[in-house]
Amino acid sequence: MLKKTNPWLREANLIGGSWVAADDGAVIEVFNPATGEMIGTIPAVGRAEVKRAIDAANAAFPAWAAKTAAERAAILLKLAGLIRANLDALAELLTLEQGKPLAEARGEVGGSANYVQWFAEEARRVYGDTIPSPWADRRLMVTREPVGVVAAITPWNFPSSMISRKVAAALAAGCTVVVKPAELTPFSGLAWGVLAEEAGIPAGVVNIVTGHAPPIGDEFLENPLVRKITFTGSTAVGKMLAGRASAAMKRVSMELGGNAPFIVFDDADLDRAVTAAVQSKYRNSGQTCVCTNRFYVQAGVYDAFAEKFAAAVRDLKVGSGFEAGVVQGPLIDDRAVKKVESHVTDAVAKGATILTGGKRHALGHGFFEPTVLRDATPDMKISTDEVFGPVAPLFRFETEDEAVRLANATEYGLAGYFFTRDLSRAFRVGEKLKYGQIGINEGVITTEVAPFGGVKDSGVGREGSKYGLEDYLDIKYWCIGL
Ligand code: ADP
């Protein structure tokens, strides 16, 4: 239905300024996760097409890098304006292929525009340094230069904003890019190509390729023209990419999995904690890497929190993202539903009690009931695996030290949240949590002006903020003899 009317649905790849099919005409079908209907097809390209895209990015690089920061900023600001002007159509496309409620899709597309605007503004602040010289007859300075051709690989949970966060930073720095959107949600990524063209970004500066991941990834990793790989996705794939990229001495930014803790201390504002818990857990039906995975609730408020939280979750309306009032869309595919099911089964077998939800939703397809489990324990799979679905396990703890120890007992380190009204505790606990991002009395903390990224197995590098631009710049030291 929407296919006929949405002008942003492109079933071709953008390579060197041309919209093209795969050389052999191969395609991949893309489905609406809420209905199972096919939305359209995308090219399934091989290494040859990806190599052409990299060549195009490399050819476009000198002229793009040579533009003044103000020139690049002007084009990026135009792009941000175009995203905002077409927000409704872009959000519909996002909901169609990804499933999230339209209001969330609008928020994501608006966020994409914010990233582009932010990096347009930051483009003009790529400063260098002068260094007091240890030699009387030499002057020392430092400049920053774009790293070169960037390959960007993005996931299906934020098919618009993950691209913006990478590509806007790369373009602001003066890099050119080849983007590979996730094959489950490629159309928001391909729409980025249409937007780039309309904004007047020169041919070859932004290239978008789709298809099965391994050949695309292999070309990105083995082509010496690619100087940086930026990836958002699973830790397993990220480790493989980072390992091979390092062997080829390419720079990397890796935004990988999370296993976010959410600690509620006895002194917390309980209503505030409940509201934040719902937002942090059930946004995008639990499919974000900063979604809470584990709730640790102190014994004194455990029962009260469990009751209020479960009541709030029972009110969440499940359905198609296009339906008014719906706040829980489908999971991305059946594999995701099976994973969530297995977590619930495992937890119940090991003693958890279901307060609400617990099974596939009557709507079928990717729908799963928003679920709250109490009496969760560390031996359950749900305490160590990333759930990536609408299931909230509640663990009980007694002391502050115990909460910190449990929260840190994971190989991940992306985001952590805790709720307290004690200022000393806020600093004590905040300093001990081994996470790249912490929310204190807040459950949703992502913004284009702040650094997004993790420690440990959650990755390396930062996106958004002034730090996000650094990831696309190389340092050049100059020694000038007088
Ligand atoms: P998820 O489990 O969330 O789908 P993945 O890490 O598998 O996470 O996918 C994130 C992105 O990485 C997607 O665009 C996917 O196609 C891509 N990807 C997966 N495997 C590879 C690979 N071998 N080379 C390059 N990209 C890959």
Report the C-alpha gap between 289 and 285 in whole angstroms: 12
With b for 16 or more beta-carbon neighbours within 10 A and e for fewer, the 1-25 pattern comes to ebeeebebbbbbbbbbbebbbbeee
**Measuring CA to CA, how many Å separate 149 from each of 179, 208, 276?**
11, 13, 40
Name the residue of 45, 153, 220 to mutate for ligand 1: max ligand atoms within 8 A of Cβ: 153
Per-residue pLDDT, 6: 79
Instruction: Give the position, in ligand 1's atom list, of the atom nearest the Cα of 157.
Output: 3
Catalytic annotation, pick one of 255, 369, 386, 448: 255
Residue located via tokens 């937002």: 279
Residue 191: Cβ within 10 Å count = 27
- What is the Å distance from ligand 1's center to 235 Cα? 10
Q: Would you say the CB of residue 90 lies under 6 angstroms from ligand 1?
A: no
Per-residue pLDDT, 30: 97
Q: Would you say the CB of residue 186 lies under 6 angstroms from ligand 1?
A: no
Can you say whether residue 99 is alpha, beta or left, with left for phi > 0 and alpha for psi between -120 and 50 degrees? Answer: left
Q: Residue length, the chain?
A: 482
Three-state SS across the chain?
CHHHHCCCCCCCEEECCEEECCCCCCEEEEECCCCCCEEEEEECCCHHHHHHHHHHHHHHHHHHHHCCHHHHHHHHHHHHHHHHHCHHHHHHHHHHHHCCCHHHHHHHHHHHHHHHHHHHHHHHHCCCEEECCCCCCEEEEEEEEECCEEEEECCCCCCCHHHHHHHHHHHHHCCEEEEECCCCCCHHHHHHHHHHHHHCCCCCCEEECCCCHHHHHHHHHHCCCEEEEEEECCHHHHHHHHHHHHHCCCEEEEECCCCEEEEECCCCCHHHHHHHHHHHHHHHHHCCCCCEEEEEEEHHHHHHHHHHHHHHHHCCCECCCCCCCCCECCCCCHHHHHHHHHHHHHHHHCCCEEEECCCECCCCCCCECCEEEEEECCCCHHHCCCCCCCEEEEEEECCHHHHHHHHHCCCCCCEEEEECCCHHHHHHHHHHCCCCEEEECCCCCCCCCCCECCCHHHEECCECHHHHHHCCEEEEEEEEEC
Task: Tell me the pLDDT of the chain (482 aa) as tens digits.
Answer: 445 567 899 999 999 999 999 999 999 999 999 999 999 999 999 999 999 999 999 999 999 999 999 999 999 999 999 999 999 999 999 999 999 999 999 999 999 999 999 999 999 999 999 999 999 999 999 999 999 999 999 999 999 999 999 999 999 999 999 999 999 999 999 999 999 999 999 999 999 999 999 999 999 999 999 999 999 999 999 999 999 999 999 999 999 999 999 999 999 999 999 999 999 999 999 999 999 999 999 999 999 999 999 999 999 999 999 999 999 999 999 999 999 999 999 999 999 999 999 999 999 999 999 999 999 999 999 999 989 999 999 999 999 999 999 999 999 999 999 999 999 999 999 999 999 999 999 999 999 999 999 999 999 999 999 999 999 999 999 999 99
Please name the residue whose Cα sits nearest to atom 18 of ligand 1: 213
Q: Would you say the CB of residue 386 lies under 6 angstroms from ligand 1?
A: no
- What is the Å distance from ligand 1's center to 458 Cα? 15
**Measuring CA to CA, how many Å separate 306 from each of 256, 276, 278?**
30, 14, 12
CB of 265 closer than 8 Å to CB of 403:
yes
Please name the residue whose Cα sits nearest to atom 25 of ligand 1: 217
Its ipTM equals 0.98
Residue 323: Cβ within 10 Å count = 13
State pTM to two decimals: 0.97
Per-residue pLDDT, 1: 45
Measure CA 314 to chain center.
27
Please name the residue whose Cα sits nearest to atom 21 of ligand 1: 213
Report the C-alpha gap between 260 and 430 in whole angstroms: 14
What tens digit of pLDDT does each residue of 95-145 get?
Answer: 999 999 999 999 999 999 999 999 999 999 999 999 999 999 999 999 999
Report the C-alpha gap between 285 and 58 in whole angstroms: 39
Instruction: Give the position, in ligand 1's atom list, of the atom nearest the Cα of 220.
Output: 25
**Measuring CA to CA, how many Å separate 287 from each of 147, 283, 284, 297, 431?**
32, 7, 5, 22, 27
- What is the Å distance from ligand 1's center to 266 Cα? 41
Q: Would you say the CB of residue 389 lies under 6 angstroms from ligand 1?
A: no
Report the C-alpha gap between 17 and 260 in whole angstroms: 41
Active site residue 255: yes
Please name the residue whose Cα sits nearest to atom 9 of ligand 1: 233
- What is the Å distance from ligand 1's center to 237 Cα? 6
- What is the Å distance from ligand 1's center to 413 Cα? 20
Report the C-alpha gap between 136 and 90 in whole angstroms: 59
In 3D space, the residue among 34, 35, 33, 27 whose CA is nearest the CA of residue 10 turns out to be 27
